[in-house]
A and B are shown apart, each in its own frame.
Chain A
Amino acid sequence: MKHEDFIEKLENLETPEIELRGHKQALKMVLLNSGRFKERTIMNWAKILAPITAAVFLIAVVGFFNVIQPKLQIAQAKEIAMNDPQVQELMAENELEITEAKLQNSEAFVLLTPEPVRLATFGPDEESPPRYILKVDLSEKKVSEFGEIDEDISLEDINPEDINFVKFGPPEGAAPEEADLD
Chain B
Amino acid sequence: MDLSEEKELVRQAQKAPDVFAKLYDQYYPKIFGYVLRRTANLEAAQDITSETFLKALRKLWQFRWRNISFSSWLYKIATNEINQYFRKAGYKKSVSLEELQEQGFEPISPHDPENELIEAQEQLKQHHDFLEIQGKIVQLSAKYQEVIALRFFEQKQIKEIAEILGKKEGTIKSLLYRAVEKLRETD
> A19, B97: Cβ atoms under 8 Å?
no
Bound together, the chains give a CA A17 to CA B97 distance in angstroms of: 23
- Tell me whether A31 and B187 are in contact (CB under 8 A): no
CA distance A21 to B111 in the complex (A): 7
> Chain B: interface secondary structure?
helix
Tell whether, in the assembled complex, residue A3 and residue B181 are in contact, meaning their CB atoms are under 8 Å apart.
yes
Interface string of B114-143 (1 = CB under 8 A from A): 001100100110010110010000000000
Q: Is the CB of A36 within 8 A of B57?
A: yes
Chain B residues lying within 8 Å of A25, measured Cβ to Cβ, are 107-111
Select which of B21, B45, B60, B152 is within 8 A of A10 by beta carbon.
Answer: B152
Chain A interface, >50% SS class? helix
Query: Which residues of B (9-60) have their CB < 8 Å from a CB of A?
Result: 14-15, 17, 20-21, 24-25, 28-29, 32-33, 36-37, 42, 45-46, 49-50, 53-54, 57-58, 60
Question: Least Cβ distance of B150 to chain A in Å?
Answer: 12
List residues of chain A with CB within 8 A of the CB of B37. Answer: 15-16
Residue B164 interfacial (CB < 8 Å):
no
Residues of A close to B49: CB separation below 8 A: 23, 27
Residue of B nearest to A10 (CB): B152
Contacts of A13 in B (CB 8 A): 129-130, 133, 152-153
Confirm or deny: A20 has a beta carbon within 8 angstroms of a beta carbon on chain B.
Answer: yes
* Docked CA distance A22–B57 (Å): 20
Q: Could you say which residues of chain A place their CB within 8 Å of the CB of B148? A: 10
Across the interface, B129 reaches (CB within 8 A) one of A6, A14, A31, namely A14
Q: Is the CB of B46 within 8 A of A34?
A: no
Count chain B residues whose beta carbon lies closer than 8 angstroms to a beta carbon of A.
50
How many interface residues does chain A have, given as a range?
Answer: 20 to 34
Interface residue B183 (Cβ < 8 Å from any Cβ of A): yes
B45 cross-chain contacts in A, Cβ below 8 A: 20
Closest chain A CB from B14 CB (angstroms): 7
Closest to B40 in A: A16
Q: Which residues of B contact A43 (CB under 8 A)?
A: 15
| Residue of B whose beta carbon sits closest to that of A6 | B184
CB-nearest residue of chain A to B108: A29
Q: Does any Cβ of A come within 8 Å of B100's Cβ?
A: yes
Leading 9 A-B pairs by shortest Cβ distance: A22-B111, A26-B107, A29-B107, A10-B152, A25-B109, A22-B113, A6-B184, A22-B116, A32-B17
Residues in A lying within 8 Å of B, measured CB to CB: 1, 3, 6-7, 10-11, 13-34, 36-37, 40, 43-44
Q: What are 21 sample pairs from A and B whose C-beta atoms fall under 8 A apart?
A: A6-B183, A6-B187, A11-B152, A13-B130, A13-B152, A19-B32, A20-B120, A23-B49, A23-B97, A26-B97, A26-B107, A27-B50, A27-B97, A29-B105, A31-B24, A31-B53, A34-B54, A36-B57, A36-B60, A37-B17, A40-B15
